[in-house]
Structure 1
Amino acid sequence: MVNVLDDRGAGRVGEAGAVPRLVDHSTAALRRSARALTEDASVPGTAWSVDPRSNRVAVVADSTVTGARWDRLVRVTERLGDTVSVRRSTGAFGPFAGPVDGGDAVFGGGARCSLGFNVDAGGARAFLTAGHCGTAAATWSADPAGAEPLGTVTASVFPGDGDFALVAYDGPEAEAPSTVDLQDGRVREITRAVPAAVGMRVQRSGSTTGLRSGTVTGLDATVNYGNGDIVTGLVQSDVCAEPGDSGGPVFSGDAAVGLTSGGSGDCTRGGVTFFQPVTTALEAVGAEIDPGGDTVGTPGGGVSGRPGGISGRLGVVRDVLE
C-alpha cells in the first residue's frame, strides 16, 4: 500500500501493481513538522516518529512532561495542525541498560546489556549492541565479574544520530553464530538484514524480559531521553522492554531489523519502545550479517550470539508518493 496525494499518483501506483491510499500530507510536509518539533519542542520525555498509516507525525510525551514543558509542547503541536498527533505514555523515557547472544546478557562497567547480532566486520567477528552500552564500558564480558571476557568496543554512537556500538571479539576460538536466543532452548538463524516498515510484526530478545513480540508503529523517530541525550533516526514500536534489554536484537523471521534502545513502561503495563535500525548500524561500522561465520574467540570462553525471533510482514504502509 502506498500513500498518494492525488488521482495522478493513484494511477501511477496502480500501474505499478500496488494499492493507492489517498492522504492529505506529503512525506516532505511530515518531515517539516518533525524538524519543527526538533527545533521548538525538544523537551526531555518527548519523542516523535513519522506514521504513514495515520499520515501524521506521532508525538509521545511521557509522565514527566508537565507544567511549562507540556505547555510548550502543546503550543508547537497546535501550530502544526493536523500534521501531528499527541498522546501520553506511562512511565518515563530512558535507555534500557541495566545496572549490574542476540538477547544474551553481556556485562561491562557495572552495566548489563544484551548482545544484539553477531556480525562480520571486515573479516573479523564482532557483535552489535546499543551505543549507550558501548559508551558505558570499553570492554565487555559474558559474566558480571569479568572472568569470561568477550571483546572491546571499536565504535559507538550515542546520543545523536543513532544508538549502536560494535564490539570486536578478543580471540579466535569462541562461537559467535548468526543466531538469536529464543529463550526456550532454541535459537533462530539470522541470514539477512532488512529496514523496518510501519505495520511490520517483529520480535525482540533481551536478557531481562526474554522473547517479546509486537508491531512497528513509527519511523524516523527522535527521542529526548533527558540529560541532553537526544537520539534521532530510531524506529518506534509497541514491543515492551525493560532495563537490561538494551542492545538486544529486534528481528522478523530470519531477518535482523534493529537493536533495542529505550522507551517507557514495562512488560507488565506495556509501553513504548524505540530501536536502532540495524541496516543503518551495519553501514556505519562497515559490517554485515554473516550466517556462514560462527567461530570467534574469547579468552576463557565464549557466548553464542543468539539474537532474536520470528514474525510476518502484514499491513505494511509505505510513505507518500511525491
Structure 2
Amino acid sequence: MRRRHLVTSIAVTATAGALVAVTLPALASTDPDRSGPELDAGPGAEAAPPGIGDEIAPELLDGLRRDLGLSEAQALERLRTEAWASQTSAALREQLGERYAGAWLNEGAEDLMIGVTDAAAADQVRAAGAEPKLVDRTEQQLASAKATLDQHSDQAAAPIAGWYVSASDNALVVLTPDWAEPAAWAFVDDSGVARGGVRVEHTDEEPRLLNDIRGGDAYFINDAARCSVGFSVAGGFVTAGHCALGGAATTGFNGVPQGEFVAASFPGVGVGGPDDWGVVAVNQDWVPQPVVNDFADGTLPVAGSDEAPVGASVCKYGSTTGVSCGIIQAKDATVNYPEGTVTGMTRTDACAEPGDSGGAWLSGDQAQGITSGGSGDCTTGGVTFFQPLNEVLEINDLTLVTTDGDDIGVPPARRCRWCRLG
C-alpha cells in the first residue's frame, strides 16, 4: 500500500564533493489503565522487551539525556511508554477504521492521544489506556486532502517549504514564510482543497539536500561524494536515493571497494520516484551487521523495525555529526527540495548536516528510517526528515538484518524490483 504523504521544503545535507545527509518493542503490563480488549498492555511491565530496562544501551540513554534534557529514569519511562504506544496506536487504527483520526503522544510523552470522530470510538480508546480527542475530520479525510496537494506539487511556489497532516491539530499544515502566506493559500485554493481543514504555519525553513556500513558509517560514491550507511539488509545496505547522484560504485570508510547502487528512488535518479531511498549491493569483502555505530567506540543493536508514533523520541546516526536525538513531529510529509518533490517523509526536530544523508534513525532498538535532508544544522538546531524504512524494505523485497539472525542472505541485486540503475 502506498503511504499517505506530507510536504515540507527540506535540505539534504551535502558537503563539497560529499553526500550526507535517523523503535521500540511492546511492553506487557498489569496496569488496568493501560490495557484493553485484544490490545497489548502498556508501561509498567515487569518484563521489559529488548532495548528497554536493564538491556538498554547506555549510549541511547546518553543521547536522550543530552538532547531531550531527561534524567535516566525519565528516559527509561519514556521508552517504555513509547514502546506500548507504538503497538496500541496500530491496534486502535485497525479496530476503529474510518472513525480513527490519528495518534500522537502529548508534550511530555506521558499519554497516548487518539483522534476519534464519535463517542463510541472514544470509549474504545479509553478502554485501551489511551486518551481520546473528538475531532471533525478522519485520518483518511486529511490524508485525501494532502494527497490532492501532492498531486499539484508542481504548482507550489518556491517559498513553500512543504505540508503535512497534523493529527493533534486535526488539520493539514502548509509551511511557508510569513511574507508568502498569500501564495500558500493560492496553492491550496488552486488544488481544490477546502480551506476549512488547512492551517498555514509560518516558518524560516529552507530545505536542502543532505549530500554526503554498520549504520551511520561513512561511504564514498565513485571515490568522491560521501554519504552515510542506513541499515544492513541481506547482501547490502539501504541509504538515501539522492546519494546515487554521485555515481554507482561505492567505497567504504576505510577506502576498500565496497559495492554499487542497484536501485534508487529520487527525482532524476533510478526510477525517478517521489521517495529518497537507495539500495547498495556489497561485495564479498563486506558483511552486513545488525548494528549501528554509536560514535562512542561501540555499536547499538537493530532488533526490528516497529514504527514509532508521532511524539516519540528518535535518534539519528550519521558520519558527519554522529548522534543527535529529537522528537517525531509528523509523518507522511512531502518535502519540496530544489531538486524535486519527495513524499512520505517523517519530520523530526533532530539535527543533521552534509554527509549525514542516508544515515540510520533508531527509536530504542527499532530501525525507523534513513536520513534524507533538513533545514538548519547541529549548531543552531533545525528540522530533519527521514525516509521511513519499512516502505523501502517492502518495495524492494529486502530483508533487514537484525539481532535475531533470521535474515535471508539474498543479495539485493536479486531482490529489488528496479535493478539496475544502468
Asked whether the two chains share a fold, i.e. TM above 0.5, the reply is: yes
The share of aligned pairs that are identical, in percent, is 37
The answer on 1:238 being equivalent to 2:374 is no
- Provide the residue aligned with 2:413 in structure 1: none
- Provide the residue aligned with 2:367 in structure 1: 256
- Provide the residue aligned with 2:17 in structure 1: none
Any conservation in 1 of the 2:156–2:187 contact (CA below 8 Å)? Answer: no
- Provide the residue aligned with 1:139 in structure 2: 249
Tell me, which stretches of 5 or more residues in structure 2 are unaligned?
1-112, 268-272, 410-422
- Provide the residue aligned with 2:57 in structure 1: none
- Provide the residue aligned with 2:327 in structure 1: 215
2 CA distance for matches of 1:143 and 1:192?
Answer: 25
3-state DSSP class of the match of 2:144? helix
1 CA distance for matches of 2:200 and 2:355?
Answer: 29
2 CA distance for matches of 1:105 and 1:127?
Answer: 12
How far 1:8 sits from its partner (Å)? 2.7
1 CA distance for matches of 2:209 and 2:406?
Answer: 30
3-state DSSP class of the match of 2:175? strand
2 CA distance for matches of 1:181 and 1:88?
Answer: 36
Tell me, which stretches of 5 or more residues in structure 1 are unaligned?
297-322
How far 1:191 sits from its partner (Å)? 1.4
How far 1:281 sits from its partner (Å)? 0.6
2 CA distance for matches of 1:53 and 1:89?
Answer: 19
3-state DSSP class of the match of 2:185? helix
3-state DSSP class of the match of 1:75? helix
What does the per-residue CA deviation read over 1:47-82, in whole Å, with 9 as the maximum and x for residues that have no partner?
112221222223223x6x966xx5321334587435
3-state DSSP class of the match of 1:13? helix
- Provide the residue aligned with 2:163 in structure 1: 48
- Provide the residue aligned with 1:195 in structure 2: 307
2 CA distance for matches of 1:169 and 1:184?
Answer: 26
Please, what TM-score do these two structures have when normalized by structure 2? 0.62
RMSD over aligned CA atoms reads: 2.4
- Provide the residue aligned with 1:94 in structure 2: 208
How far 1:119 sits from its partner (Å)? 1.1
1:120-199 alignment to 2 at 5 Å? 120=234, 125-143=235-253, 147-159=255-267, 160-171=273-284, 173-199=285-311
Q: One-letter code of the match for 1:6?
A: D
Any conservation in 2 of the 1:193–1:257 contact (CA below 8 Å)? Answer: yes
Q: One-letter code of the match for 1:161?
A: P
Please, what TM-score do these two structures have when normalized by structure 1? 0.79
2 CA distance for matches of 1:151 and 1:261?
Answer: 21
Q: When you count helix as a share of all residues, which structure comes out higher?
A: 2
What does the per-residue CA deviation read over 1:104-158, in whole Å, with 9 as the maximum and x for residues that have no partner?
11111421110011111xxxx21110011124321111249xx411111111011
**Per the alignment, do residues 293 and 3 of structure 1 end up closer, same or farther by CA in structure 2, a change over 3 Å counting?**
closer
Q: When you count strand as a share of all residues, which structure comes out higher?
A: 1
3-state DSSP class of the match of 1:193? coil
3-state DSSP class of the match of 1:192? coil
Any conservation in 2 of the 1:198–1:219 contact (CA below 8 Å)? Answer: yes
- Provide the residue aligned with 1:4 in structure 2: 116
1 CA distance for matches of 2:118 and 2:187?
Answer: 28
2 CA distance for matches of 1:58 and 1:272?
Answer: 15
Aligned residues: 281
Q: One-letter code of the match for 1:219?
A: K
2 CA distance for matches of 1:55 and 1:181?
Answer: 38
1:19-34 alignment to 2 at 5 Å? 19-34=131-146
Deviation beyond 6 Å, 4+ runs, structure 1:
none
Residue of 74, 99, 113 corresponding to 2:227: 113
The answer on 1:58 being equivalent to 2:164 is no
